[in-house]
Amino acid sequence: MKNLIETGSFKVFIILCLFNPIFSFSQSIDNFTLKGECDIQSGIVHLGALESIYYPFKLDGYDTKLINGKFIFTAPIKYPYAFRLFIMSDGIVVYLSDLFFVEKGLQLIKVNTNESRGMPKINNSTIKEFKLNYTSWFESYNLNISKYINKKDSINKIYNNALPLKEECELENEMKILSNQNDTLLLLYTKKYPDSYIALWKLVEKVLNGYKDIYDSIANSFSYKLKKTYTAMVLIEKLKAARVCRIGNPFPILNLSDSKKNIYVNAFNSNYKYTLIDFWFSNCSPCKARL
């Protein structure tokens, strides 16, 4: 009976792969093994995904125990994935890494909990690209963002973290300029390195925070090979959906409910000159507090 069930499941899996366009056999499935060392002896290590929908098999991440300063992860992988590493000790997060990249095969990783928000020490070809190409490409941006952070910290000290509206707006405008600089650099980087998985995951990270027209240009600069990855196909679909609500476009027709949740409309009342739409994030506490 067990063999029949397994055989039946395999047949269903094959049928799903053949008829689901998001499934792709362009990359073979292999495993990665991440052997880690840490400067603390015990705890829980979480290998966190950016968002599950961008990974084949829709993974959320992996957990393992930190024992005697060592930990290990082994899991399926089709091409380089991006993760963040969390380490918890006694229920408290003592380390959170910047985004880093894992490939097929065995990789060694070293973590110093005093270097939180940095990239852990790991050696693979994608990390080499990051150190040799990506970091130098974004050198001017990194210098500017460092100056911005120092300036912001200084102003916050002056006003005891209660910034006047003028200073807050000025800092916000400076951040927008820096964000646009980063977007432009990523577009130019992708055009030079169209096979870069770093560029792919960096764009995923950006799209998680909103939509800009330039994101379409970055995605269009990916190579054919990169566009055929599961991650890129999901990303392109997300960009297509976001494009509908871009600034300047007519607002799409939606099924909506009023504040009492009992009256549904198919479109906005054409007799109104203006209709205020308040967009908010489901995990935003101040947004929910206004409801």
pLDDT digits (tens, 9 = 90+) for 244-255: 877 777 777 766
Domain boundaries, the chain: 21-122, 132-243
pLDDT at 265: 57
- What is residue 141's predicted lDDT score, i.e. its pLDDT? 96
Cα dihedral 65, 231, 183, 147, rounded to 10, equals 0
Does residue 230 register a pLDDT over 50?
yes
Per-residue pLDDT at 264: 60
Q: Where are the beta strands (DSSP E) in 112-243?
A: 121-122
Lowest mean pLDDT among 65-74, 78-87, 98-107, 276-285: 276-285
Q: Which CATH architecture has domain 21-122?
A: Sandwich (2.60)
Is 148 in contact with 178 (CB distance < 8 Å)?
A: yes
- Identify which has the larger pLDDT, 281 or 4: 281
pLDDT, averaged across the chain = 86
The string of pLDDT tens digits covering residues 166-225 is: 999 999 999 999 999 999 999 999 999 999 999 999 999 999 998 999 999 999 999 999
Which pLDDT score, from 0 to 100, does residue 7 have? 40
pLDDT given at position 273: 76
Is 90 exceeded by the pLDDT of residue 67?
yes
What sign for the dihedral angle of Cα 179, 182, 188, 189?
negative
